[in-house]
Structures are given as C-alpha cells and as structure tokens.
C-alpha cells in the first residue's frame, strides 16, 4: 500500500506537470514543446468541460478552466461522482457530493483560493497546492 507522503508527492508532481504545460500555453500563447492543452486529459474529464465552464462563468474564473480540468484529472480522472473531491472543503465526508455539486463547490473553493492568493501576492502554484488542503470554506 502506498504511503500518504508518497501519494502526495506523486499527486503534486503530476499536477505540476499538467499545470506547467497549461501555464506555458497561457503565457506564450504556444504550448510547451510536446504539450498541448487538453491532451493529457481523459475523455471522462473532457466530457465535463461544459459543466465546468458553466460554473467557472458563474464564479468569474472562466480563464482558469484548464487548471480546473487538470484538478479533476488528478483528483478523480472524472470517474467518480465527486469528481473534484470537494466534499471535504465543505466539511463533509469524502464523496458526499453529486457530480454537479462537486464541480460547483470545487470551482467555488478554487475561486476563493485564487482571490486569497491575489490579495496575498501568491502565485498559481500556491493556489493549486492549496486546493488539496482540507479546509472548511
């Protein structure tokens, strides 16, 4: 069985690779050589894009949709009902939310983290690392 520290390290590595490729594209307008937006996302995650886009527009973070899809890829691969594993950010037991509720709460929580990071001068890496920290919002 994988130790929690090893799992966390692997999780952060995969997340940083995906986010790095996306960030390179956003900054330069061109994907990093060998990377393209959406290429490393499963079909299950890509199928959630319209729902994620709906919630990102509601919370005013539509420019960050690829980060949110990358979070879904890492958190669940789009294969469980609580796709963003966001139950915990409400203080609920894991996997307590439906797919729509999970995305709504995950995007809401991400937008709160993003606002807090902007206020404190933190970067996107900090926002992404903070997403997986359990904190009631």
Q: What is the pLDDT of residues 85-123, one digit of tens each?
A: 999 888 899 899 999 999 999 999 999 999 999 999 999
Mean pLDDT (whole number) for 8-33 = 60
| Structural domain count, the chain | 1
For the cut 90, the answer to whether the pLDDT of residue 51 exceeds it is: yes
Domain CATH number, residue 59: 1.10.530.10
> How does pLDDT run across 30-45, given as a tens digit for each residue?
444 444 555 689 999 9
- Find the domain containing 120 and state its range: 38-131
**Burial track 98-109 (b if 16+ CB lie within 10 A, e otherwise):** ebebbbbbbbbb
Please indicate, yes or no, if residue 27 is contained in any of the structural domains.
no
Please indicate, yes or no, if residue 20 is contained in any of the structural domains.
no
Please indicate, yes or no, if residue 48 is contained in any of the structural domains.
yes
> For position 10, what pLDDT does the model report?
72
Q: Which CB contacts under 8 angstroms, 24+ apart, belong to 35-40?
A: 37/66, 38/66, 38/69, 40/70, 40/73
Residue reference for tokens 């130790």: 3
Q: How far apart are CA 30 and CA 11, in angstroms?
A: 25
Share the mean pLDDT of the chain. Answer: 82
């Amino acid at each position: 069985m994988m130790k929690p520290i090893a799992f966390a390290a692997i999780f952060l590595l995969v997340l940083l690779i995906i986010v790095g490729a996306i960030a390179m594209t956003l900054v330069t307008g061109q994907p990093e050589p060998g990377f393209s937006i959406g290429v490393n996302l499963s079909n299950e995650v890509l199928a959630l894009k319209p729902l994620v886009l709906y919630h990102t527009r509601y919370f005013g973070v539509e420019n960050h949709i690829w980060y949110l899809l990358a979070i879904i890829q890492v958190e669940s691969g789009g294969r469980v009902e609580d796709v963003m594993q966001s139950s915990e950010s409400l203080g609920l037991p894991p996997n307590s939310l439906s797919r729509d509720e999970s995305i709504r709460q995950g995007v809401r929580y991400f937008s709160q983290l993003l606002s807090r990071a902007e206020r404190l001068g933190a970067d996107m890496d900090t926002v992404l690392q903070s997403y997986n920290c359990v904190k009631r919002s």
